[in-house]
Amino acid sequence: MYKLATTHCPKCRVIEKKLISKGIPFETVENMDEIMKIAESAGLSTAPLLVLDDGTVLDFMGANKLLNS
């Protein structure tokens, strides 16, 4: 799983903490051009984005729901 995030974003830290607590490896990407490219291709407009290994892109609510299940 990959976490695409902005610097010092509170929602990004929530997702990051949940990934760490579940022992899920992830990579943090803070390049806004890359984040915007992925967001636009997924029809999303906010960070954080969580990109799963299968290419699925989740916004904060989707990532939070997945990590809470």
Per-residue pLDDT reduced to its tens digit, 14-47: 998 999 999 999 988 877 788 888 889 999 988 7
Count of the separate structural domains present in the chain: 1
Q: What is the CATH number of the domain that holds 48?
A: 3.40.30.10
Full 3-state SS string of the chain: CEEECCCCCHHHHHHHHHHHHCCCCCCEECCHHHHHHHHHHHCCCCCCEEECCCCCEECHHHHHHHHHC
Range of the domain at 21: 2-68
Q: Tell me, what's the pLDDT at 8? A: 73
Q: What is the mean pLDDT of the chain?
A: 86
pLDDT category of residue 62 using cuts at 50, 70 and 90: very high
